Amino acid sequence: MKKFTILAIETSCDETAAGVIEAKKTAANFELRVLSNVVASQIEIHKKWGGVYPELASRAHLEAMIPVLEEALEPIGGTKKLADSIDAIAVTVGPGLIGSLLMGVETAQILATYYKKPVVPVNHLEGHIYASFTGKLKNSLKIAKTGIFPVLALIVSGGHTSLVLMEKHLKYKTIGQTLDDAAGEAFDKVARILGLGYPGGPLIEKLAEGGNENAYELPLPMVKQDNYDFSFSGLKTAVLYTTKNPATGKMKKYHKADLAASFQKTVSQILTQKTIRAVKDFKPKTVILSGGVSANSHLRSFFEREIRKITEAQILIPPKNLSTDNAVGIGLVGALKLLKDKKTSWDKIKAQDNFPIDTSTARLRYCRSV
């Protein structure tokens, strides 16, 4: 079986990422190798705005794109070897910030026309799901063609909180999602309330290390409801009202680290309890935790421990550097699509800020901007 080499590009939000993935099919598996994984973060640029500033994000993608591509292509001998060594270009076409997505999509289109390569459009959320297959292996992995389904994937990022069911590769059904804020968005907003900065997730995690997670009792919105949807805005408001009186606006006395730890624990409980409901109902053989918030150590261990109590399913969580946005997940999906001959030409792809992972979702939210 021929081996394919794919260049992947991801620019849906505030990370400019590119990577090269090698892929082949065997009778039972898709075998993949990560040759490179380059991410240029824009955190420093957006920090002072407390969120992603869309125009600055597009401009930063433009500046970072060529150096990121050059570094990603190093293992195959650099840009001059692209024509001989790369079989296709995978790119995130959505969902995300439209100006950011356009930078990646147009780069892929230019490379595809110039080097006469097919392109493989990838949904950002599929990238998050498949990044979890890298597990502890990181650089070479086998993804079984069958026997792992149903897969139940919880995607928790800055723009999304969704439970997605898969009966086969590359086919998704969203069974639940947030009705208001995404989990990452809640981390970012609570970090702002606590005066911590952006992005909130890692800063809350750090502060929570020194806090008592049982100090504050916070609400668990919707966890008792018989569905797989989530809500975080009430939790965020509860944190806000712990810090100041809603009627007078006067600041209250509170312990910052304890509040951060209590909030983090509550988010882990909400996400895990809703996933447990879906595990009981759909009996998946594989349970995935993915997206930027899955970099959170408390969530990783709480989720794994609680899910393990009720199922023997394999539990997949990406390594922390592949929880947040990256091109490896995009490349893995791109490679699988290429192996299934799902490729197209440069003029058939389009950046789509609204791009549901399946057709049943109307309420998905996107990469959050200020």
Which residues sit at the interface with ligand KG4, rule CB under 6 A?
A: 13, 157-159, 184, 187-188, 199-202, 205, 291-293, 295-296, 324-325, 367
CB atoms within 10 A of CB 212: 14
Q: Which is nearer to ligand KG4, 118 or 211 (CB)?
A: 211
Phi, psi for 19 (deg, rounded to 5) = -160, 165
Q: How far apart are CA 336 and CA 322, in angstroms?
A: 18
To ligand KG4, the closest distance from the beta carbon of 81 in angstroms equals 30
- Amino acid identity of residue 170, one-letter, is L
Number of residues counted as binding Zn ion (CB under 5 A): 2
To Zn ion, the closest distance from the beta carbon of 80 in angstroms equals 32
Beta strands in the chain (DSSP E): 4-10, 15-25, 29-41, 88-94, 119-123, 140-144, 151-156, 161-166, 173-177, 286-290, 314-316
Distance of CA 327 to the CA centre of its chain: 11
Q: Is 323 in the site for Zn ion (CB under 5 A)?
A: no
CB nearest Zn ion: which residue? 157
Nearest to 111 by CA among 93, 87, 128: 87
Q: How far apart are CA 117 and CA 112, in angstroms?
A: 5
- Of 325, 326, 332, 369, the one binding Zn ion (CB under 5 A) is 325
Looking at 60-68, 94-102, 253-261, 321-329, which segment touches Zn ion (CB under 5 A)?
321-329
Q: How far apart are CA 118 and CA 44, in angstroms?
A: 35
Q: Is 157 in the site for Zn ion (CB under 5 A)?
A: yes
Looking at 22-30, 57-65, 70-78, 156-164, which segment touches Zn ion (CB under 5 A)?
156-164
Q: Which is nearer to ligand KG4, 118 or 158 (CB)?
A: 158
**DSSP state, 209?**
T
How far apart, in Å, are the Cα atoms of 125 and each of 1, 275, 365, 367? 29, 17, 12, 11
To ligand KG4, the closest distance from the beta carbon of 157 in angstroms equals 3
To ligand KG4, the closest distance from the beta carbon of 129 in angstroms equals 11
- What residue 104 binds from Zn ion, ligand KG4, none (CB within 5 to 8 A, per partner kind)? none
Q: Is 162 in the site for Zn ion (CB under 5 A)?
A: no
**Which tokens sit at 324?**
């947040």
**DSSP state, 14?**
S
To ligand KG4, the closest distance from the beta carbon of 109 in angstroms equals 22
To ligand KG4, the closest distance from the beta carbon of 13 in angstroms equals 5
Question: Contact residues for Zn ion (CB under 5 A)?
Answer: 157, 325
